[in-house]
């Protein structure tokens, strides 16, 4: 059995583990268009900020590919997939046949229309090469000021790294607040205040329309949408990532925003699977298929895909948006529907401005569907578990929770834990694994 995997990030590695759990003998070939044998993309900001070294960027041991008998092809792009004849054409003109194919091509950064921009003056920040390039640029051009276009997760992570390197950063965000997708206004405020404290600038409701270079062709100034200008030595664009579905589209696979897959991670073409940031798989909360570009979802999808490619029959239960990020020393977690729109939602909140603490729970039909935790994230995973299992919490509401919220305030209390859940559910939750409570 010949397995071919396009891509070499978390989905691909999880797929390898999935395949090998069922098939120890089949041939597995992995195609990567990067020069690195293995590295974790989310860690590139840690690399830039000099928190970890290049050699520690991998998330599997050095002998992972050897132990699993993987043929790893680096520095080569997969140019075309022939779905009918079952082969892939590489950028070095090689043709590789496959019995089963997994497309784990990840995402591509969104580039907006900016006058005078070119790849050398506008930096993206989605892979290790971007980080290496940027580090070199900062050193050689002695960058003192930087502008980050986009106040989302990637934008904030690269901001943190730049601040570590002693660069003064200004964030330019189109929405009215940073982290608009995952946070609400109150949560964003806390982080914004913290960023202000460490000297980071923030411009909201704006974007960059033009770049002005100096005589040597280096970036000097930005012109914003509202005609204001901003001096800068470096512009980083981090306004989002789209699924890399070009290969799939050209091979006439069904796509929407990403490559469409069923619950077994199969595309509409037999023997071709997709997983990770490029795939449009089931969102458990919204009950639709859409790309969810987060590490745990990619890992799980890759594992299920690999398992099924090797003859198994596992269903992908679905995932939902979840992110954990520590900014300016403040840990935060956002899970699920954090900015609910429409009817039927109930919101529970607790805020302590002095301590920079914020806790928000979004409920629908007495089930948790969204969580934001800022400042204190201890045991936050319990909420994630309750969202995943869609647990009805009406039996937990109690008089101690405060009559104002119908007794639901107990969910926000510090002592909320498995002990607050009904005993039978607790036993079910735990008995399935190792312990009986």
CA-to-CA separations, 272 to 10, 94, 240, 309, 424, in angstroms, rounded: 18, 19, 27, 9, 42
Q: Which is nearer to other proteins, 212 or 382 (CB)?
A: 382
Residue written as token pair 């583990």: 17
For the CB of residue 358, give the shortest distance to other proteins in the complex, in Å. 16
Smallest gap from Cβ 423 to other proteins, in A, equals 8
Q: Which is nearer to other proteins, 141 or 423 (CB)?
A: 423
- Considering the complex, what minimum distance in angstroms separates the CB of residue 417 from other proteins? 4
Q: Which is nearer to other proteins, 7 or 253 (CB)?
A: 7
Which residues have CB under 8 Å from 71's CB, separation 6+? 27, 28, 29, 30
Q: Which is nearer to other proteins, 8 or 207 (CB)?
A: 8
Min dist. Cβ of residue 340 to other proteins (A) = 20
Q: Which is nearer to other proteins, 11 or 32 (CB)?
A: 11
The values of phi and psi at residue 401, to 5°, are -70, -5
Identify which of residues 71 and 379 has a Cβ nearer to other proteins in the complex.
379
Q: How far is the CB of 407 from other proteins (least distance, A)?
A: 15
CB 70 within 8 Å of CB 255: no
Q: How far is the CB of 307 from other proteins (least distance, A)?
A: 12
**Beta pairing partners, 236:** 123, 148
Cα dihedral sign for 260, 263, 3, 11?
positive
Q: In what order do the strands lie in the sheet with 145-149?
A: 122-123, 234-237, 145-149, 168-172, 201-203
Question: How far apart are CB 231 and other proteins at their closest, in Å?
Answer: 33
Which residue's entry shows tokens 């512009």?
Answer: 235
For other proteins, the closer CB: 404 or 436? 436
Q: Coil, strand, or helix at residue 181?
A: coil
CB of 317 to other proteins, least distance (A): 10
Q: How far apart are CA 339 and CA 337, in angstroms?
A: 6
Cβ closest to other proteins, residue 89 vs residue 382? 382
Q: In what order do the strands lie in the sheet with 279-283?
A: 259-260, 279-283, 288-290
- Nearest alpha carbon to residue 64 among 124, 15, 137, 6: 15
Residues that bind other proteins (CB under 8 A): 14, 40, 42-43, 46, 51-52, 56, 58-61, 295-296, 299-300, 303, 322-326, 331, 333, 335, 377-382, 384-386, 388-389, 415, 417-420, 429-430, 433-437
Please state the closest distance from residue 148 (CB atom) to other proteins, in A: 20
Cα separation of 213 and 165, whole Å? 23
Ramachandran region of residue 274, left (φ > 0), alpha (ψ -120 to 50) or beta?
beta
First to last CA, the chain: 45
d(CA 164, CA 157): 11
Identify which of residues 207 and 384 has a Cβ nearer to other proteins in the complex: 384
Which residue, 180 or 418, has its beta carbon nearer to other proteins? 418
Buried b (16+ CB within 10 A) or exposed e, 308-319: bbbeeebebebb
Q: How far is the CB of 85 from other proteins (least distance, A)?
A: 35
């Amino acid at each position: 059995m010949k397995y071919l995997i396009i891509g070499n990030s978390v989905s691909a590695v999880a797929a390898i583990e999935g395949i090998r759990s069922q098939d120890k003998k089949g041939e597995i070939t992995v195609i990567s268009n990067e020069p690195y044998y293995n590295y974790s993309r989310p860690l590139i900001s840690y690399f830039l900020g000099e928190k970890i070294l290049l050699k520690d960027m991998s998330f599997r041991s050095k002998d992972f590919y050897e132990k699993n008998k993987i043929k790893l092809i680096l520095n080569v792009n997969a140019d075309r997939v022939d779905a009918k004849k079952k082969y892939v054409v590489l950028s070095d003109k090689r043709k590789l046949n496959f019995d089963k194919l997994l497309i784990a091509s990840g995402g591509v950064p969104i580039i907006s229309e900016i006058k005078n921009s070119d790849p050398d003056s506008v930096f993206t920040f989605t892979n290790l090469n971007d980080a290496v390039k940027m580090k070199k640029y900062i050193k050689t051009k002695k960058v003192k000021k930087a502008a980050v276009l986009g106040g989302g997760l990637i934008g904030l992570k690269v901001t943190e790294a730049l601040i570590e390197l002693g660069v003064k950063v200004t964030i330019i965000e189109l929405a009215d607040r940073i982290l608009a997708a995952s946070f609400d206004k109150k949560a964003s405020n806390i982080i914004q205040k913290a960023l202000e404290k460490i000297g980071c600038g923030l411009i909201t409701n704006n974007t960059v329309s033009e770049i002005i270079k100096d005589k040597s062709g280096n970036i000097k100034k930005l012109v914003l949408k509202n005609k204001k200008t901003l001096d800068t030595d470096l512009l980083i664009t981090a306004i989002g990532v789209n699924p890399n579905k070009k290969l799939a589209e050209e091979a006439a696979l069904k796509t929407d925003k990403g490559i469409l897959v069923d619950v077994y991670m199969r595309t509409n073409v037999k023997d071709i699977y997709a997983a990770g940031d490029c795939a449009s798989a089931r969102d458990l909360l919204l009950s639709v298929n859409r790309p969810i570009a987060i590490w745990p979802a990619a890992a799980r999808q890759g594992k299920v895909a690999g398992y099924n490619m090797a003859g198994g029959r596992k269903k992908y239960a679905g995932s939902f948006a979840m992110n954990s990020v520590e900014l300016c020393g403040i840990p935060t977690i956002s899970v699920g529907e954090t900015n609910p729109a429409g009817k039927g939602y109930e919101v529970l909140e607790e805020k302590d401005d002095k301590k920079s603490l914020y806790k928000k729970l979004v409920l629908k039909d007495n089930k948790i569907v969204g969580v934001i935790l800022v400042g204190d994230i201890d045991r936050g995973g319990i909420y994630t578990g309750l969202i995943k299992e869609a647990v009805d919490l009406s039996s937990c509401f109690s008089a101690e929770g405060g009559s104002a919220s119908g007794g639901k305030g107990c969910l926000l209390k510090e002592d909320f834990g498995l002990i607050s859940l009904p005993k039978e559910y607790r036993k079910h939750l735990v008995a399935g694994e190792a312990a009986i409570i």
